[in-house]
Structures are given as C-alpha cells and as structure tokens.
Structure 1
Amino acid sequence: MRTKGKLYAAVLGLATAGAFVLSTGGASGHGYTDLPISRQLLCADGTVRGCGEIQWEPQSVEGPKGFPAGGPADGQLCSGGETRFGQLDGARTPRGAEWPTTKVTGGQSYTFRWQFEARHATTDFRYYVTRQGWNQGHALTRADLNTTPFLTVPYGGKQPPATLSHSGTLPTGLSGHHVILGVWTIADTGNAFYACSDVTF
C-alpha cells in the first residue's frame, strides 16, 4: 500500500512538473497576428489545409531580427527562416489555391492585432507591404516589398498584454492582392517574430 502511495506521489509530481514547464514557456514560439489574419493562423484554424507543423504552433514563426538589413533570407520571410514552416513561404497554399485575403482600403485606419503565447520584452512592431506590381509568382523577397515600414509602433522594452491592438493608416496607391509583413522585434534576444497576411486593396 505504502509503495503504491509513493508511486502515485512520484507520478503526480512528474505530471505537475511537466505542466509547469509547459506553462512557463517550455515550448518555443510566442505570437502571431489575427488582424489581418496571418498565414500561420489560417493554417492553425483549418481554413488552409496541408500546412504541416505550423498548424499546431502558429505562434512559433521566429527568426533573426534586424529586418530588412538582416533577418530571414529572401524567399523565407513568411516562415521566419524556419524550414519546418516552409509552407508559409509558398506563393500559393500547400494545396495550390490562392491564399485567402482580408479586404482593406488604402488611406484608411486599420487596427492590427497580435495574440501572444509568451509576452517578451519588446522593441517595436513594424509593418511592411508589397509594392504595386510585385511578383506574386514566387516566395516573398525584399525586392517585392517597400522596405520602409508604413507603420512602426515603438514599445520601449515593455512586455505586451496577451492581446495587443494598435492602429495605423494603410498606404495609398495599392490595388489588388498584396502581402503585409508584420515584424515583432524582441528587446532581450537576437530574434523577432514574423507574420505574413494576405490582403486585397
């Protein structure tokens, strides 16, 4: 009886320790945009199928910071350079369809929203958009983007709440399908988080 009690206590202790590791960020990965909806969230919520590992961890698109001078390589911007999330880089979805888009209007205010699984000290949030006439037939590159952000939100090293919204004016002179690249730069690591959102102006 006593041995069973000790075994039960040990198992309970291991389960508690495992839960603690998970709750304190044992998993890698920490945030994504849901306004406008990002490719990783479209994969996670089942709107886009065949995405591979990203469907279970949309918050994990983490890569080197310093974009556009540094950061992920061209052709790997939407995956943050994480090869296991390479499906996000495709010009089309893994099943060959167009990426679903969010309708937006140039020159109007838009509220961007991030969801965080771990709230890191933050330098800023920056948003880039593709140029008019960009090449939609390949994975996103710096040449496809206006590499001056149309919106920068400084955050001064603070930790964001679990959900963070901020507004900015969308650029004018764009029509048709474009990609907005959101970059969340972490203050106390060498990394940033990347989110590609397909939109129609």
Structure 2
Amino acid sequence: MPPLRTFAPRKSALVIAAVAGAGLPLLSAAPALAHGYTTAPPSRALLCQQGTVRNCGPIQWEPQSTEGPKGFPAAGPADGTICAAGDSRWAPLDDPRGGAWPATSLTSGASFTFTWKLTAAHATTSFRYFVTRDGWNPTQPLTRAQLDLTPFLQVNYGGRIPPYSVAHTGTLPAKHGRHMILAVWDIADTGNAFYQCSDVNFG
C-alpha cells in the first residue's frame, strides 16, 4: 500500500473551500460495515487466508467478506453458492475439491466453543450453527438438502453489538465421519448475513 499523502492545513482548507464552492457535497466518514469469519473451527475462508489451502482467489485477502442476503434457509444464497454467500468473487469456497478440504477433528456430542473474529462489529440478530445431514455428499457443493435446517446452536443478540472476539459454547450434534458446519451471522439493521463454512470430522 502506498504511503498516505498529507497536505498542509492551508492547502486542505483551499481544497475544501473549492469543493464547497462548486456545490458538491462533502464526504464524511461512513460507519463501518460488519465483517467477520470463524476461527474455531476454522472456516474455508480462514484456511485460504492462512495459505493452508491454495488457489482460493481473492478471498485469501478478505476472509471476513462472505456477506450475502439474510433469511437463511427460507432465503439467502442459492444452493451451491452458500459457502461463498452467493458472491461469485468467493466461488472457490463452494468448490468441494473432491471432498479434500482440511477437516477439523471434533468429538460427537461434546461441548465446543465456536469463535469468530470480527473486523467490524454491527447490531446483531443472532449467530446460528447448522450441520450437514448423515449421508451428505462432501464431493458436491453445499445445498439446503444436505443440511439439517434447524440450527443445533443459536445465540440471540436482540440487536446488540457483539465484541470483536466472539465465543459461543454449545453441544455438538451426534454425528460421525466427515461433515460441514455452516455458521450464519445475522445482521439486525441491514438485509445481509455472513456465511462461513467449516469442514469437520467427528471420527
């Protein structure tokens, strides 16, 4: 990134005066939009950012940006585009890679603490966690038919703003073998949510 350029106060004042005199609106700092990604279990977006998985495209620089329409599962990203939040820029996250994404080992039915890193917090409705059904096909892009559509863990925020480090402890579902956990962060005051897919193995 090139260094920021600074101007002497008098010159800045002249620039502002010129813009105002031209009848153009002055730009003000807009509030930050919400962004974040799951760190435990690590999401596909985070694995790309860390370089654990290669050939991910631009998501490697923006693991926090998997933002798409909220309302899942009734609305939200289309089937086959859920991990990328329906955004074609992040399409490599939907590629199952033959079922070869690194998977985090979990214990069926055990207590587990899910964690997020937020780069910009926002008023929040809830964080919800879904898991794939038994017999799902890890070599196919994720669809609603492959998921248990009732979250096994839901933490409601009622519009409160979460901290930048978020932790939710709950009981893992009774599963065995390879699965995927879909974490959905529902934003309260926009029409969007954040979607994070984590490959896991219950042994």
**TM-score normalized by the length of structure 2:** 0.84
Give the 3-state SS of the residue equivalent to 1:53 in structure 2: helix
SS in 1 for 2:162: coil
Letter of the structure 2 residue corresponding to residue 63 of structure 1:
G
Q: What are the superposed Cα offsets for residues 149-169 of structure 1, whole Å, 9 maximum, x if unpaired?
A: 000100110101110101010
Q: Say which of 31, 36, 54 aligns to 2:36.
A: 31
1:4 alignment partner in structure 2: none
Name the CA distance, whole Å, in 2 between partners of 1:106 and 1:97: 20
Q: CA deviation at 1:109?
A: 0.6
Would the aligned equivalents of 1:29 and 1:61 in 2 still touch at CA under 8 Å? no
Structure 1 residue 9 corresponds to structure 2 residue 8: yes
User: What is the CA-CA distance between 1:9 and the residue it aligns to?
Assistant: 2.0
Deviations 1:23-49 (A, max 9, x none): x63xx6610000000000000011111
Cross-structure match for 2:141? 139
The structure with more radius of gyration: 2
Q: Is the 8 A contact 1:111 1:167 kept in 2?
A: yes
Report the Cα distance in structure 2 between the residues aligned to 1:101 and 1:117, rounded to whole angstroms: 24
- C-alpha offsets along residues 90-140 of structure 1, whole Å, 9 cap, x if unaligned? 111xxx671111110111110000110110100000000001110122100
Identity %: 59
SS in 1 for 2:91: helix
The alpha carbon displacement at 1:175 in A equals 1.2
SS where residue 58 of structure 1 aligns? coil
Deviation at 1:8, TM superposition (A): 4.1
Equivalent-residue separation in structure 2 for 1:72 and 1:107 (angstroms): 29
Structure 2: distance between partners of 1:188 and 1:70: 17
Tell me the amino acid that sits aligned with residue 156 of structure 1.
G
Structure 1 residues 47-67: Cα deviation after superposition (integer angstroms, max 9, x where no partner): 111101100000000000000
Question: Does the alignment pair 1:168 with 2:170?
Answer: yes
Partner of 2:118: 116
Shift of 1:199: 0.3
Q: Report the TM-score when normalising by structure 1.
A: 0.85
| 2:150 aligned to which of 148, 151, 170 | 148
| Structure 1 SS opposite 2:64 | helix
Contact 1:100-1:198 within 8 A present in 2 as well: yes
Q: How does 1:31-180 map to 2 (within 5 A)?
A: 31-92=36-97, 98-172=100-174, 174-180=175-181
Does the aligned pair in 1 maintain the 2:183–2:196 contact within 8 Å?
yes
Does the 8 Å contact 1:61/1:193 carry over to 2? yes
Q: Which runs of 4+ in 1 moved over 3 A?
A: none
Cα separation, 2, equivalents of 1:8 and 1:57: 31
Does 2:184 match 1:183?
Answer: yes
Matched to 1:152, the amino acid is: Q
- More helix per residue: 1 or 2? 1
Distance 2:71 2:164 in 1: 24
